Structure 1
Amino acid sequence: MPLEYTADFRFYAELNDFLPPSRRKRDLAYRFNGHPGIKDPIEVFGVPHTEVALIIVNGHSVGFDYQLRANDRVAVYPVFKQLNMLPLARLRESISGPPRFIVDVNLGKLAKRMRLLGFDSLYRNDYRDAEVANIAENQQRIVLTRDRRLLFAKRITQGYWVRAVTVEHQVEEVIRRFDLYDVIQPFARCLMCNGVLVPVAKADVLEQLQPKTKLYYDDFYRCDDCRRIYWQGSHIDDMRQRFAILLAR
């Protein structure tokens, strides 16, 4: 009969959100045979690998390829903005360029708000999990989801489980989690299709405008993809007030 070994795990900060209350902020014993990859027990405890930024085993930083050994002491950490990760083992390749997102079917309102702030955010209300994983992998997109099970997919390397319930708090949470304050570009994307908005001459869209819009507005934008027309009406001032704190940051 094979021997059974034990390793002690401890999860820190918001990673405890994935644990039952009775198992939070305490050492947890994990029993195993052989030498499993360390990502497996982390996910057995219920923590998606996409939420993990740092793993320390017996005082040393390790990657997901580390094979667990008897009596290991494992500390698992989420992303910390103030922590210099350069000298530590990297768990995944960083995404180059501006962050791009794919938003699952439960977060349609969040997708629109992210587009409103200028972030490339794919969304459809009929995405299947496999399709989300495929797009995330092929296009190097970060998955935003309320379904933590989705983040266990091996093909998803960058993802985040959105904790907040209301869309206002969800936006603040995502901006804070990925430190996006300096790259907000309001009103740069189409709310409906995610296309880029470009300036367009009033004369070129005049036939598509309502009489009052023709009379009171002169600056217009058109979506490169779906050709919808946008202008800075009173709703823009309302949105600026709604996101005043984010824009001020």
Structure 2
Amino acid sequence: MESEITIRVAGELLMFLPATRREAVNRVPYDGTSTLGHLVESLGVPLPEAGPMTIGGEPVEPSTRPRTGDEVHVEAVPRPQPIPGDVPRFLLDVHLGTLARRMRLLGLDTAYHNDMDDPALVVQANAEHRVLLTQDRGLLRRRALWFGAYVRGSKPDDQLHDLLDRFAPELHPWTRCTACNGELVPVDKSEIEGALEAGTRRSYDVYGRCADCGQLYWRGAHGGHLEEIVRSATRQVESARATAVSKRG
């Protein structure tokens, strides 16, 4: 009779399992040598999305080799999730361009390229210690990747909400170029008047310029919409951090 173990998966992780096998409790064939990490990924759950694992109530690591008949519990990653390093930095894959612009609006250091393949993304994420955000489960399974996360949601609003809920990063709105991620610096109106249309010159007095690409910024017609994105994001992060503190207390 083939050896088996039982893997009990948290509800938040069921989305990663094939639709035909989307069950919380799974009987998995076991060869006696595979690690828990390998077995969890064989179900479809990328390891960066798997949180604490236990056997018989005792914490175990993904590198653990279970015994035949063991029942393994796999939780989701606790939120908010700490990111190694003092200041979080992010890298987004080619399908998350709108999310990248919103993250830059919030002052998050966010690299994005619309023409970079998977191996190059992993190289940059590792070299610059950036969290790789993606909706490509195969990309998250790459062993060389130092830190990655799956972005939930098909709409930019939902994706941003998921990101902020997961990491609750410190925000610095209006400090980065949404086009290239460079830092914005104040610029005197008199220095740039020649580059402005007449209506803009008459209507606005406060400007910023990207230190990298030179793009000019001012609070224009879309300011109200962008302000609401910033306000909503700020409230969400403050709430997530307060909840985390109360749980620790």
Aligning the two structures, in what range does the TM-score lie when normalised by the shorter sequence? 0.7 to 0.9
**Contact persistence 1:12–1:25 (CA under 8 A):** no
Partner AA of 1:152 in structure 2: R
**Contact persistence 1:50–1:156 (CA under 8 A):** no
CA distance in 1, matches of 2:187, 2:52: 47
Alignment-derived partner of residue 203 in structure 1: 190
The number of equivalent residue pairs is: 236
Structure 1 residue runs of 4 or more that deviate by more than 4 Å after TM superposition: none
**Contact persistence 1:57–1:74 (CA under 8 A):** yes
Alignment-derived partner of residue 230 in structure 1: 217
Alignment-derived partner of residue 154 in structure 1: 143
The Cα shift of 1:124 comes to: 0.9
1:106 aligns with 2:95: yes
Offset from partner CA, 1:183-217 (integer Å, 9 cap, x none) = 22222111111111111222222322222222222
TM-score by length of 2: 0.87
Alignment-derived partner of residue 38 in structure 2: 40
Residue number among 109, 119, 122 corresponding to 2:108 in the alignment:
119
The Cα shift of 1:68 comes to: 2.6
Gaps of 5+ in 2: 237-249
**Contact persistence 2:54–2:72 (CA under 8 A):** yes
The Cα shift of 1:21 comes to: 4.2
Change (3 A) 1:242 1:94: closer
Offset from partner CA, 1:125-181 (integer Å, 9 cap, x none) = 11100011111112221111121111111122322222211111111121112123x
CA distance in 1, matches of 2:127, 2:212: 21
The Cα shift of 1:25 comes to: 4.4
Moved more, 43-52 or 149-158: 149-158
**Contact persistence 2:90–2:132 (CA under 8 A):** yes
Gaps of 5+ in 1: 86-92
1:177 aligns with 2:177: no
Partner AA of 1:157 in structure 2: W
**Contact persistence 1:105–1:124 (CA under 8 A):** yes
Partner AA of 1:219 in structure 2: V
Moved more, 52-61 or 186-195: 52-61
5 Å matches for 1:19-168? 19-81=17-79, 94-168=83-157
CA distance in 2, matches of 1:112, 1:199: 20
TM-score by length of 1: 0.87
Alignment-derived partner of residue 239 in structure 1: 226
**Contact persistence 2:46–2:137 (CA under 8 A):** yes
The Cα shift of 1:15 comes to: 0.8
CA distance in 2, matches of 1:26, 1:232: 49
More helix per residue: 1 or 2? 2
Give the fraction of aligned pairs with identical amino acids, expressed as a percent. Answer: 33
**Contact persistence 2:32–2:65 (CA under 8 A):** no
CA distance in 1, matches of 2:124, 2:84: 14
CA distance in 2, matches of 1:136, 1:68: 32
Partner AA of 2:97 in structure 1: G
The Cα shift of 1:31 comes to: 1.4
